[in-house]
Structure 1
Amino acid sequence: MSRIKKGGALAASVVALVSGFEGLRTYAYRDPVGIPTICFGETRGVKMGDHKTPAECKDMLISRLAEFETGMRKCLASPDTIPDNAYAAFLSASYNIGTGAFCKSSMARRANAGDIRGACDALLAWDKAGGFRLPGLTKRRAKERELCLRGI
């Protein structure tokens, strides 16, 4: 079951969060570690020279967030008990680091143990790409953690 239904408040929150961090680029570019990327951080099937319209990018983001949510939910023991802000932060992180990494992370382990605050704190560990700390990721994780802790 999805919690980010199209047009819902949680979906709007996650789309705004992810698109704000990723930024919109309608032409393919290489991310900081050299992976071809387009739109709002999309890497799947992207080749240099690709181009998308802003509307195509938004549709792609919504579709991919639904896929990442499905993957994220599979590794969470009680995904529907996680507060909305924490859920949005974890989905943003999953979109950025990949579902496999999220599922193996201390975020997922702590959330599954009922330690949502600890899971939120664990977001801060995910600020590296290619083994290097990236200031943009450090800032992103701090904002995700801030959102995650809101209302807990």
Structure 2
Amino acid sequence: MIQHKKTWLAIALTAVAGFEGLRTEAYKDPVGIPTICFGYTAGVEIGDTATVDECKQLLTDEVISHGLAVSNAVTVDLSHEEQAAYTSFTYNVGAAAFQRSTLLRKLNSDDRVGACNELPRWVYASGVKLPGLVKRREAERELCLSGIQ
């Protein structure tokens, strides 16, 4: 039986949803930013609510947007796993941080293992090392490395 690889989008959606968790009422994230759904922050105010369907659509739109930001910044071909790992990372830290990163410089110079190994360095939020980010980055690193032949 032939098994087909999931596309990067399916992998990234699963990863981001798992890391972020679903909350249909706005809350403050660990650094005090109003957040809703699966870690969405743009224009969110405490008191906002969303339906599960709205959150799923927002997640899909945001993962696609962040995946495109990764694709537009990267000059080497990525496996589905690498694309998903970097999309999850970018969803969390933002496209601007990804574009300025040593990780991207390593990736674009074809140091794929070195780029994956940069992920665990990104575990601080407002100067505080967060256990959830440690776990997330290690999972992203493992996913990333699994896509390198």
**Shorter-chain TM-score above 0.5:** yes
State the Cα RMSD in Å. 1.1
Q: Is the 8 A contact 1:110 1:118 kept in 2?
A: yes
Change (3 A) 1:77 1:151: closer
**105, 109, 113: which one aligns with 1:113:** 109
Cα distance, 1:77 vs. partner?
A: 1.4
Q: Is the 8 A contact 1:107 1:119 kept in 2?
A: yes
**After the TM superposition, which residues 3-152 of structure 1 pair with which residues of structure 2 at under 5 Å, given as runs?**
9-78=7-76, 81-152=77-148
For 1:92-128, what per-residue CA distance to the aligned partner results, in whole angstroms no more than 9, with x for missing partners? 0000000000011121111100011111000011001
Amino acid of the residue matched to residue 113 of structure 2?
R
For 1:24-52, what per-residue CA distance to the aligned partner results, in whole angstroms no more than 9, with x for missing partners? 00000000000000000000010110111
Identity %: 46
1:91 alignment partner, SS class: helix
Cα distance, 1:70 vs. partner?
A: 2.2
Unaligned ranges ≥5, structure 1: 1-7
Amino acid of the residue matched to residue 27 of structure 1?
E
Unaligned ranges ≥5, structure 2: 1-5
